Structure 1
Amino acid sequence: MSLPRIAIDAMGGDEGVRVMVEGAALARRRHDKFQFLLVGDEARIARALEAHPNMRGASEILHCEDVVAGDELPSRALRRAKTTSMGLAVNAVKEGKAGAAVSAGNTGALMAMSKLALRTMPGIDRPALAALLPTLGDNDVIMLDLGANTEADARNLVQFAIMGAAYSRIVTGRDRPRVHLLNIGTEEIKGFDRLREAATQLQNATSLDLQFDGYVESDKINRGEVDVVVTDGFSGNIALKAIEGTARFVTDLLRNAFTSSLRSKIGFLVSRPATELLRHHLDPNNHNGAVFLGLNGVVVKSHGSANAKGVANAVAVAARLLEDNLTQRITHDLAELGEDRLRVAPGNSGATDEGSQ
């Protein structure tokens, strides 16, 4: 049985059409049930398809020459949602012409277009951007929000936890994912009022299919002891970029060390299997595909610099969320918690936090 088509913004990302089409073709070689709606310049897409015979019977082209620039303001891009490749890819999901959309373009513009076209799910105030990160354990860790919302109150954080846990059950197979709130310490007195309020609500939400284990500090995110890390988009984006920067620092440091002398080069040859494993583990293309959770539809954000392997992984993420009915899982969990349990006590909205630092 074929999945619903996946709409690809073929013009987005650093490399544009060539890499996006090549990534879709790689995804289809792995799973021949994939079908695509390729949105962008028809002539360029057609030329790219010539190198991928497996895509010819599985793809339809929606011609569009207008592209959202990488540095374009979301408000400006939003006004061109009906004429750009990104906007038309998202709109295909809204109109039922595709089951999911994948874009490597401007993140802010993609969020704005997705939210306007698809709207948030009932019971969700704000969508959140979630991504998989590698760990030392057997599981990847899901972290959200990574930049969709610079601020989040207790109610938002509880909703993020529910959405992240539903996503985690799909990708990790755990019945009750281990959920933590990102904080500056693990003690109950640490953090803002909104964090403590969210923690209280999650501790009392025993009907949910998640295991709330309190707070986690940023240095423990990748240890493999956590399945879902919940935070606001400001803190999450900073933490994510710090993790990515550290990974690049380690790989560059090793590269410099192994090329510093003849002895080092010989040592590299001896240790090459281990260094290749490290390189594979830290390669962001192997974990590519951030998801906008909380929308009435599936939208996946590929990294702008992703190669074909990274794009293929983003496509696979979209397909898996369609197969496993992510939106239905989130809806079920929201119903289990109940709207009354998501109400925040007066004064605990997080606007004037005075919590212990």
Structure 2
Amino acid sequence: MTDRPCIAVDAMGGDEGLAVMLAGVARARRRFEDLHFLLVGDEAQVRAGLASHPNLSAHSEVVHAPEIVGSSEKAGQAIRRAKKTSMGIAIDLVKQGRAAAAVSAGNTGALMAMAKLSLRTMKGIDRPALAAPLPTLGDNDVVMLDLGANTECDAQNLVQFAVMGAAYARIVFDLDRPRVALLNIGSEEQKGTDEIRDAAAVLKEQSHLPLAFTGFVEGNQLARGQHDVIVCDGFAGNIALKTAEGTARFVADLLKRAFTSSVRSKVGFLISRPATELLKHHLDPNNHNGAIFLGLNGVVVKSHGSANENGIATAIGNAAKLVRADLTRRIAEDLAEFERAAA
């Protein structure tokens, strides 16, 4: 399964609808020819959509799901309908072993609740965390977690997040000892809450683990490329993520306005267009799409709800890479090593 991964896709999730989801899966299939897909959704609609993607039809199966999880639906309500919804069935396919990973662009809260209930957390993990790569000025992106799954975390949660995030970074960035930092309001040791300081004290002693703890990092340093993993609670992480996304859109809109303000500006835009296109590519969230719930007994990837077909393909590619690298096993090994040292 890890050599030729089968990915279950919630074809009905996301803001852009079935057509964009199928176009994204088809693009992923062109990028990664060894992938196979289980497309979960209303069978009649999915098969009609597949008519536009003959290459995808030959490498996918349709799994019927009569219901859809609404974007604003509460997690508790969605769980009660899990066995009938495209999201719930996609996760269950991972539990059954029919799929190596599930990808959905649907309701984040419902996806988290369903995945945790169906797949359960790994041994040694109290809470799963939502992690995703964010762009930086360095050679690699930075993995940040938690991005909203847990609004309140104790020191033990943060340490577990650090271990899981480091395992993730070793795979996606091909690193031996990822640099791990805790998000804080200052770099000084006395700064921050008790939970953050206690987590730092524990991580300083983990020299045996395949990670390098670098201390605290402030919000204005997130994109400098000086760290590979940044750990925080879900409340701070979600605010940081949304602020970064908003800043990226602000910069793009500001540049567009500046370059169209006069004839001279338009000429300047033509001269600097290669540089602005590179900036646009770097800031486009579709090129970094695909957050993963770390700490579950299975791979579940959350695509941004507004992702275009390139974003969907990127999320699927991330899922396949984590499956091939056996992420769950590698996290389990690191956790076991941490527990042995703690004992």
TM range (shorter): over 0.9
Residue 123 of structure 1 corresponds to 124
2:124 aligned with 1:137: no
Residue 235 of structure 1 corresponds to 236
Distance 1:45 1:191 in 2: 50
Residue 198 of structure 1 corresponds to 199
Bigger Cα displacement from structure 2, 279-288 vs 13-22: 13-22
Q: What is the correspondence of 1:1-357 to structure 2 with a 5 Å cutoff?
A: 2-338=3-339, 341=342
Shift of 1:185: 0.3
Q: Aligned AA for 2:67?
A: D
Distance 1:267 1:4 in 2: 47
Is the 1:123–1:339 Cα contact (8 Å) retained in structure 2? no
Distance 1:131 1:96 in 2: 24
Q: Aligned AA for 2:164?
A: M
Q: How many residues align?
A: 342
Distance 2:175 2:222 in 1: 18
Distance 1:248 1:341 in 2: 44
Is the 2:5–2:324 Cα contact (8 Å) retained in structure 1? no
Q: Aligned AA for 2:112?
A: M
Is the 2:5–2:34 Cα contact (8 Å) retained in structure 1? no
Is the 1:66–1:83 Cα contact (8 Å) retained in structure 2? yes
Secondary structure at the aligned position of 2:99 is classed as: coil
Secondary structure at the aligned position of 2:83 is classed as: coil
Secondary structure at the aligned position of 2:82 is classed as: coil
**Aligned sequence identity (%):** 65
TM-score of the pair, normalised by structure 1: 0.94
Distance 1:307 1:47 in 2: 20
Is the 1:201–1:341 Cα contact (8 Å) retained in structure 2? no
Is the 2:83–2:89 Cα contact (8 Å) retained in structure 1? yes
The unaligned stretches of length 5 or more in structure 1 are: 343-357
Secondary structure at the aligned position of 1:108 is classed as: helix
Shift of 1:230: 0.1
Distance 2:4 2:216 in 1: 38
Shift of 1:17: 1.2
TM-score of the pair, normalised by structure 2: 0.98
Q: Aligned AA for 1:311?
A: I
Distance 1:314 1:61 in 2: 20
Shift of 1:340: 7.2
Distance 2:340 2:98 in 1: 32
Instruction: Please provide the CA RMSD for this pair.
Output: 1.1
Q: Aligned AA for 1:140?
A: D
Secondary structure at the aligned position of 1:180 is classed as: strand
Distance 1:128 1:113 in 2: 14
